[in-house]
Chain A
Amino acid sequence: MKINLVMLAAMATAGLVGCGGSSTPATPAAPAAPAIPEGTTVTLALLETTDIHANVMSYNYYALAEDTTLGLERTSTLVQAARKENPNNVLLDDGDVIQGTLLGDLQAVTKPVACSDTMAVHKAMNAMKYDGGGFGNHEFNYGLPLLSQITNTDFGIPGITKPAGTCGSPAFPLVLTNVTGVSSGKPIVQPYALLPRTFAATTPDGKALNVNLNIGIMSFVPPQILEWDAKNLSGKVAVGGVQEAAKQYVPEMRTKGADLVVALSHGGLDASGYSPKMENGSYYLTTTGIDALLIGHSHLIFPKGKETGAAALDASFASIPASANVDGINGFVNNVPTVMAQSWGRRLGIIKMTLNYTGGKWVVQPTKTTVESRGFKYTDGTTNVAADPAIAPLVATEHNATIAYAKQPLGVTTDFEMSAYFALVGDVSAIQLVNQAQIDYVKKFIANSTDATISGYKSIPVISCSAPFKAGRNGSSDFTDVAPGASAAAPIGLQVRNPGDLYLYSNNNLQAVKIKGSDLKNWLEAAAKQFGQIDPTKTTEQDLVPSYSTIYNYDVFYAEGNALTYQIDVTKPAGSRIVNLTYQGKAVADTDDFIVATNDYRAGGGGAVPGIDGSKTIIKSPDANQAVVSNYLIAQGAATGKVTLANNGSARSWSFVQTTTAGPVILRSAPGHLALAQSSGIKNITAESSTTDANGFSKYSVDLSK
């Protein structure tokens, strides 16, 4: 005993001398040493949330609808229950907290939260009384200055200054173990913290005893943050391998009195060989002397849920070779208890451990450790937990502001209605602006690029494609219709939400591909597959578009000045329908070069367009197509105050090859828009059925000879 204490003191001194540095965490006051009888046990629970992604309320801001399957307001209920079951507990978060919903974007980008205020998600976490937290890769999405402010942390990075005074931030310690400042060489956040806690223990003779324990926490992010957020981080921070960082600090934590060492690892489980560059290195933390592993990043459930009807263990865990010793049922990785609480507050990780006081220290009793990733329906597999009523009032202002934001003016008017009702017969009123915005973006990207390869593309024509995303897929009311009734005499102001109507999918990033004229023809042929093959001799009714289920694959191409035009012959079989494809009045040759502005879905192989498989992508932009459209509209507003039918909605780049049919050809669309077709000059729409079909669509007569 005596020798041990002396050794400990000597090691502690050495540790202190060895590390120094301003970001070395303060040693907590050494727990007063009560006389703990040998064999005393303490049972405690480590509670984990991960990948909250700014989901405070049970609400989906993209769908603008309540979603009771997620949100911290319900996780809080899980936490309360777990605390009741486990009076000795610490609540920890594994990162990816601040980004992921419109609420997060609004508070970080659109109207950044002031130093004097606290982010909504942090308000909720403070109310839930978290004990500590780590970082995730998404924490870096909004840049270091904001992160420094909202964590109230001076990173010690030149040029990144935290506002003076104390900024609103988590009221619990944050740690980050494998990120250092390039110029300082020191951790940008304290690499670990020891949380001194007094827990109720039981002596061998069954008496209650309060004991002091130090829970040590550390946190790890994937080195890939330097690629994903290069703009924010490159040259400023360095990220080390998780194992190297853990090996550096675990002994120091022990020396300073950590009774338990908990790793918050924002990475999944990858058991293929270790490299400090790997993204999901959590597996390799299990051999660094830690006691528990709280993981995240891959949004999965580990171990398998214990509730009735729980989903099977994710295939990525199930496929890890047995030799790696991963127990996905009981929650152990290499014998270290491990939990992952999915994402969005949908689960609470619970590692319950019993420690036995043996030989002057607390020793984990592996056989008494249990691990659970507990979901909202944990009680019986069907009943969803209720929301903690304390959370919503804390963030009501921010929540309502997020919903209201969508209806604010964008600062630009339109003199035309932008709709997709007749997009499949040539109307481009809801598509042309998207194409114009994408072309504008790509041309500027190339013009401003410092990359020699990209700037070498300046002489290649930039064209664009986009589709009528919202055109009947989800029923007869599911059509884009922005600014209904707008006209030159009565222009309508656009709202913040309208770019999202024109470009439906906010998950898409803008990309550009470099292709040949032959690829362009194949691409147009793939798009033209949306049409049924029309038999001109048939006297019975024929559907021009038999199904809207993949209408997002109907790419409409456009070049500035409507310089690219083509025709579609719907009487021909799919694959040989495109004719008269011209650019600047000349037939497009197979060997011509084009750069096409599109999205990551199409560029990466979506829709199976031949040759468009990711191999021709020359620009991968971090910007969303939706934001590109929004910014373009705002710029038009700033320049002229308006967008117009003449400039932005009437350049019909394609038409049908004229054909006289013996019988009726119809287009199914939302009822009641014949007048719009006529006023917009869509000549091939000639009549509307007096009744709707079984799904509520009107049948519009299409005259293919016009």
Chain B
Amino acid sequence: MERIKNAASLTLAFIACVAALIGCQSPPPPTSAEIETVSMAAVQKNDVKAERRLRDWAAQGLPVAQRELGILYESRPRQRDEAMQLLEHAANTGDTEAAFQLAEMLRTGAPGIAAAPAKAIPWYEQAAQQKHAKAALILGMLFNNGEGTKADLEQGAKWLAMSSDLGNPHAMFLLSNAYREGRGVAQNARFARKLLEDSAEHEYPPAIQELAMTVETGDALSGKDTLRADHLLKEANEHRRNNWNRF
């Protein structure tokens, strides 16, 4: 039985191959994971074949391929314009990461190209609305600092809250500060502490350190716990080598 089934599926596979070759049936479009796997090969191995595949897929209008190729081109100053076009295409098709990457390019500029945070904001907003945690974080900071927009602490705190809810530890920490100081939100020490704990749990180095400092001496919200402080600092120490460029 098993054998017969195998033989049958082999025949089917053969027919599918032939069909694909003569062009009467196009192969199914690649999944996002498949495109990203090819993209990883292009980036990690400088694999020109992989890059070509990505280009073909991008030309076919696959947004994930456009985004991945755009990200690859971002690292090459001479392909900056192409990168932005690809990312814009993908973002307009609804790709969240592409909108974020495009916003980043606009916000930071490049040598000889002025930063344009105001132009970046709508793209960040699109990505954030599509649940991109880091896009919401950056919006929070732009509103807090009045970059590309008028300074608005309440608006800043709202975006930080969204980012924090989406799991961004950097946003959790900044929001914790906001609640502790009452910046853009009503002061709430207890909630500030909860956010600090969450952020430390998610490995944001400043949060680990701040929490360690807090429990080392104890305060109104929690008693002195030197073992915990030691362990937090030990953890921060150990993860220093991977957290240095992570957030």
Shortest 6 CB-CB distances between A and B: which pairs?
A: A507-B236, A606-B206, A100-B238, A608-B177, A238-B44, A452-B111
Interface residue from A452, A473, A606 paired with B210 (Cβ < 8 Å): A606
**Does chain B have a CB within 8 A of A62?**
yes
- Asked whether, in the complex, the Cβ of B208 is within 8 Å of the Cβ of A507, the reply is yes
Question: Which of A113-121, A249-257, A564-572, A612-620 interfaces with chain B?
Answer: A612-620
- Chain B residues contacting A277 (CB-CB under 8 Å) are 36, 40
Interface string of B207-220 (1 = CB under 8 A from A): 01110010011010
Cα–Cα distance between A694 and B247 once the two chains are bound (Å): 43
Can you list 28 pairs linking A and B with CB atoms under 8 Å apart?
Answer: A3-B2, A3-B3, A62-B237, A137-B242, A224-B246, A226-B44, A228-B241, A229-B241, A237-B44, A238-B44, A239-B40, A241-B37, A244-B37, A275-B36, A276-B36, A276-B37, A277-B36, A452-B111, A507-B233, A509-B240, A509-B244, A549-B219, A604-B206, A605-B177, A611-B145, A615-B138, A620-B245, A622-B241
Q: Is A600 an interface residue (CB 8 A)?
A: yes
Is A63 positioned at the interface, with any CB of B under 8 Å from its CB? yes
CB within 8 Å of B: which of A300-319?
314-316
Residues of A within 8 A of B238 (CB): 53, 99-101, 138
Chain B nearest CB from A277 CB (Å) reads: 6
Does A38 sit within 8 A of B, measured CB to CB? no
Residues of A within 8 A of B198 (CB): 315
Q: Among B147, B219, B240, find the residue whose CB has the most chain A CB atoms closer than 10 A.
A: B240
Taking CB atoms, residues of chain A closer than 8 Å to B216 are: 473-474
B244 and A620 form a contact (CB under 8 A): yes
Is A69 at the interface (CB under 8 A from chain B)?
Answer: yes
Q: Which A residues are in CB contact (< 8 Å) with B181? A: 608
Establish whether residues B32 and A275, one from each chain, have CB atoms under 8 Å apart when the complex forms: yes
Residues A605 and B240 in contact, CB atoms below 8 Å apart: no
Q: Is the CB of B206 within 8 A of A605?
A: yes
B234 close to chain A: CB less than 8 A: yes
What residues of A have a CB within 8 angstroms of the CB of B161 in the complex?
A: none
Residues from chain B with Cβ under 8 Å of A477 in the complex: none
Cβ–Cβ < 8 Å partners of B204 in chain A: 604
A651 to B24, CA, bound (A): 81
Question: How many A-B pairs fall under 8 Å by CB?
Answer: 158
A583 interface residue (CB < 8 Å to B): no
Contact present for B111 and A240 (CB under 8 Å)? no
Within 8 Å of chain B (Cβ to Cβ): is A141? yes
A318 to B205 Cα, complex, angstroms: 23
Are B213 and A275 in contact (CB-based, < 8 A)?
Answer: no
Given the known inter-chain contacts A315-B198, A453-B110, please indicate yes or no for A276 contacting B213, CB distance below 8 A: no
Please give the number of chain A residues whose Cβ is less than 8 angstroms from any Cβ of chain B in the complex.
66
Is A243 a contact partner of B33 (Cβ separation < 8 A)?
yes
* Contacting residues, chain A, for B213 (C-beta < 8 A): 473, 550, 552
Q: Decide if B116 is an interface residue (CB 8 Å cutoff).
A: no
Within 8 A of B (CB), among A422-442: none
Kindly state whether residue B201 has any CB partner on chain A within 8 Å: yes
Min CB distance A476 to B, Å, is: 14
A85 within 8 A of B: no
* B222 CB to nearest A CB, Å: 13
Among A238, A314, A621, which residue has its beta carbon within 8 angstroms of that of B40? Answer: A238
- From B77, B144, B209, give the contact of A613 (CB < 8 A): B144
Question: CA A198 – CA B233 in complex, angstroms?
Answer: 44
Q: Which chain A positions have C-beta within 8 A of B217?
A: 473-474, 549
A386 to B98 Cα, complex, angstroms: 54
Instruction: Tell me if B33 and A274 are in contact (CB < 8 A).
Output: yes
Give the B-binding residues of A (Cβ under 8 A). Answer: 3, 7, 53, 60, 62-63, 67, 69, 99-101, 137-138, 141, 182, 223-224, 226-229, 235, 237-241, 243-244, 274-277, 299, 314-316, 344, 452-453, 456, 473-474, 505-509, 549-550, 552, 600-602, 604-606, 608, 611, 613-615, 620-622, 624
Task: Give A139 Cβ to nearest chain B Cβ, in Å.
Answer: 11
B41 within 8 A of A: yes
Min Cβ gap A15→B in Å is 15
CB distance from A309 to the nearest CB of B (A): 16
Give the complex CA separation of A615 and B117 in angstroms.
12
B241 touches A141 (CB 8 A): yes
The complex places the Cα of A388 from the Cα of B244 at a distance, in Å, of: 36
* A238 contacts across to B, CB distance below 8 A: 40-41, 44-45
**B residues lining the A interface (CB < 8 Å):** 2-3, 32-33, 36-37, 40-41, 44-46, 77, 110-111, 138, 141-142, 144-145, 147, 170, 173-174, 177, 180-181, 183, 198, 201-202, 204-206, 208-210, 213, 216-217, 219, 227, 230-231, 233-238, 240-247
A134 to B243, CA, bound (A): 22
- Which residue, of B44, B110, B141, B180, has the highest number of chain A Cβ atoms within 10 A? B44
Decide: B33 and A601 in contact? CB cutoff 8 A: no
In whole angstroms, how far apart are the Cα atoms of A223 and B43 in the complex? Answer: 12
- Given known pairs A223-B40, A474-B216, A605-B173, the reply for A600 and B208 (CB within 8 Å) is no
| A62 and B230 contact, Cβ closer than 8 Å, known pairs A453-B110, A604-B170 | yes
CB-CB nearest in chain B for A185: B45
Q: What chain B residues lie within 8 Å of A613 (beta carbons)?
A: 141, 144-145, 174
Q: Which of A243, A299, A600 contacts B244 (CB 8 A)?
A: A600
Known interface pairs A316-B201, A600-B243; 6 further A-B residue pairs with C-beta atoms within 8 A, sorted by A's residue number: A62-B237, A228-B246, A241-B40, A505-B233, A604-B173, A613-B145
- Cα A552 to Cα B206 in complex, Å, equals 12
- Bound CA–CA A96/B231 (angstroms): 17
Q: Which residues of A contact B227 (CB under 8 A)?
A: 67, 69
Which residues from A are CB-within-8-Å of B44? 182, 226, 237-239
Distance in angstroms between the alpha carbons of A137 and B246 in the assembled complex: 13
Chain B residue at minimum C-beta to C-beta distance from A235: B46
Q: Point out which of B205, B219, B233, B238 has the most chain A C-beta atoms below 10 A from its C-beta.
A: B238
Chain B residues with CB under 8 Å of A228's CB are 241-242, 244-246
User: Taking A69-B227, A235-B46 as contacts, is the C-beta distance between A60 and B234 under 8 angstroms?
Assistant: yes
Closest chain A residue to B203, Cβ basis: A298
Say whether B145 contacts A615, CB under 8 Å. yes
The distance from the CB of A454 to the nearest CB of chain B, in whole angstroms, is 10
Tell me how far the C-beta of A569 lies from the nearest C-beta in chain B, rounded to whole angstroms: 22
Closest beta carbon of chain B to A296's beta carbon, Å: 13
Contact among A237, A453, A600, A622 for B205, CB-based, below 8 A: A600
A76 to B240, CA, bound (A): 28
Residue in B2, B174, B230, B235 whose CB lies within 8 Å of A67: B230
Tell me the bound Cα distance from A474 to B77 in angstroms.
51
If A277-B36, A453-B111, A550-B213 touch, whether A601 touches B3 (CB-CB below 8 Å) is no
Tell me the complex Cα distance, A601–B110, Å: 27
Interface pair A456/B111, CB less than 8 Å apart? yes
Q: In whole angstroms, what is the CA distance A672 to B32 when docked?
A: 69
**Which residues of B lie under 8 Å from residue A622 when comparing CB positions?**
241, 244-245
A-chain residues with CB within 8 Å of residue B40 when the two chains form the complex: 223, 238-241, 276-277
Give the shortest distance, in Å, between A311 (CB) and chain B (any CB).
Answer: 12
Do residues B205 and A604 form an inter-chain contact, with CB atoms below 8 A? yes
Query: Which chain A residues border B237 with CB–CB below 8 Å?
Result: 62, 100, 506-507
